[in-house]
Chains A and B, each alone.
Chain A
C-alpha cells in the first residue's frame, strides 16, 4: 500500500497528541505529574497542536477536502466516520479542561481531563480499526493492529509528557511509564513482524481463487490489461519497502531502543541537561514512529495485486 506522507504524518502526530492527552488526563488526578496549572496547560496545548496538525494533514489526503464534514454522517457502519466523530468530540472536554485550568477550577479540570482521556483512547482505537477491519490487506487485518495503535500512541504520548515534565523538573513517573511502554512497543513490533514473515495461511486468497482457474492448474499472469501505470497500481501495488525491509525494521527497533537509555540517563542526571536528554528521547520515539508507520503501509499488500502479478 502506498505510504502517503499525509497519512503517515497524521497517524504519528495525532497518535502522539492523543497519547499525551490521555496520560495528562489520567496521571494528573493521581497526583503523579507536576501540580501547577501552567504545566498542564503547556502539555494540553502541545497535545492539541499535534492532534490538529495531524487532522489537518489527513484532510490533504482527500480528493475533496472541502466536503470533509460529510464524513461525520456514517458512524453507524464506518470506522473512518467514527474516527472523525470521536476526534471532534474529544475537542470539547479538552477545551473545557483548558478553560478550567485558566479559570482555576481544578475539580472541573480533573473531570474534563478524564473525559478527554477517554475521547483520546476512543479516537485512536477507531483509527486502528479503519485498518484492522480491511479484509483485503492481510498485514492490517490482524488482531494486534488496533491494540498496536493504542500502544504506540500511549508510548509516544508518554515520551512527550516525560519531556515536558523534565522541562518542569519532575519527569520521573512519565519517564518510567514511557520506558515500560517502549519495551512493550518493541515486543509488540517483533511479534507482529514474526507473524507477518510466517508462511501465508492456507486460506489466504491466491490468483487461483481470484480467477477461479485453479481447477485447471497453477495460474500465472500472461498479458497485463494495460501497459502503463494506473491509480490502482500506484495506490495498492507499492513495492519499494519489501526491498529495504530489514534495514527499515532495524531503524524502527533502533529508535525504540534508543529511548530507553536516554530516558534512564535523563532521570539520573536531572537538571537542564537531563531535560535535554528527555527531549531527545521523545524525538527519537517520534522519528521511529514515523518509520514504523511508513513501513506499516509500505509492507502491506492488497488482494488486487494478485490479478496483476499473481502474488499479494
Chain B
C-alpha cells in the first residue's frame, strides 16, 4: 500500500553531526560495501574501471563553504534518505512498491514489484533515490534494515553500516520517536534541524549544526620572553645577558 501507515511511534533514523564530519567518505564507502550484498542488492556499477564510471550509491558526501571571512566554514555534508514521516515518494508510487513501514518508519522499495517508472525519485526533494539501470528498479537507503535487526551479528554491530564505520563518530542511530532516547537528547541539546522543512516531508533524520568558531580570547597571555637556553647563538646569548643587566 502506498498510503502512509499510521505511525507506531517508533521512528528509526540517523542524526548527522555537521560539526565533526571530516568528509572522509568512509560512510559512503562502507554503505556501498554492505549494500552491494544487502537487502536491495546488487548496487550496479557501470564502466567501473574506465572513464564514465558511475553507479548507485545510497549516500553521497558533498562539501560546502558557508559564510565569509573569519566566520566562514567548510562543511562536509552526507546526503541520504531521511526516512521522512510524510514522504510523497511513497504516495506517488503507482504499484505500492515504495512503502513506509508502520513498525519503525523505515522507507523501503520492494524490487519485486517496482516497475522503474522513476516517479518516486522525482517526488523526493533530497535526491535520495537512484534508479538501478541494470535491473530497471529503484534503489535507496534501507537504514540497513538487514543489520539493525540481524541476530547473527554481534549486538554492538546492529547499527547501519555508515554509523559503525564513521571514524569521528559524526553519525548516530536511534529512535527519534522516543524523546528519551540518546539521539533525541542529542538533537535537543545541539539544536538539530530538518533539511528543507518548507517542503513539508517531515524528515526523521536530523542534522546537527556546526558549532560557532571560538571567539578570540580578549585577554591573550603576554608573550613569554625567551630564556637564555632558547638562544643558541653565543654572541646573542652574551648580548642578552649584557642588556638584561
Contact = CB atoms under 8 A, between A and B. Distances in A.
Interface of A: 1, 61-65, 67-68, 70-74, 76-81, 84, 130, 133-137, 203, 205, 207, 209-226, 228-232, 235-236, 302-304, 307-308
B189 interface: no
Contacts of B1: 74
A222 B65 contact: yes
A94 to B, nearest CB: 22
B30 interface: no
B64 A221 contact: yes
A169 B210 CA distance: 75
Nearest to B131: A231
Contacts of A215: 209
Looking at B71, B127, B130, B131, which has the most chain A CB atoms within 10 Å of its CB? Answer: B127
B59 to A, nearest CB: 9
A217 B72 contact: yes
A211 B75 contact: yes
A152 to B, nearest CB: 21
Contacts of A134: 88, 92, 122-123
B104 interface: no
A133 B123 CA distance: 9
B113 interface: yes
Given A63-B131, A135-B199, A236-B127, A77 B91 contact: yes
A206 to B, nearest CB: 9
A35 to B, nearest CB: 41
Contacts of B93: 74, 78
B225 interface: no
Interface in B1-55: 1-3, 18, 23, 28, 51-55
Contacts of B71: 216-217
A71 B195 contact: no
Contacts of B92: 77-80, 130, 133-134
B82 to A, nearest CB: 12
A136 B123 contact: yes
Given A136-B125, A213-B75, A223 B63 contact: yes
B231 interface: no
Given A134-B122, A236-B127, A62 B72 contact: no
Contacts of B52: 228-229
Interface stretch (B132-140, B152-160, B178-186): B132-140
Nearest to B207: A212
A31 to B, nearest CB: 40
A217 B68 contact: yes
Nearest to A1: B122
Interface in B201-215: 207, 209-210
Contacts of A133: 88, 92
Contact of B193 (A212, A216, A221, A302): A212
A70 B193 CA distance: 37
B94 A78 contact: yes
Given A81-B94, A136-B199, A229-B52, A63 B135 contact: yes
B102 interface: no
A135 B130 contact: no
Contacts of A79: 92
B101 interface: no
A248 B136 CA distance: 32
Given A135-B199, A217-B72, A226-B54, A64 B115 contact: yes
B43 to A, nearest CB: 12
14 contacts: A62-B136, A63-B118, A63-B131, A64-B116, A78-B92, A78-B119, A205-B125, A210-B196, A217-B66, A219-B64, A220-B65, A221-B62, A228-B53, A230-B130
A216 B196 contact: no
B236 interface: no
A72 B113 CA distance: 12
A65 B135 CA distance: 12
B230 interface: no
Contact of A307 (B62, B68, B75): B62
B66 A74 contact: no
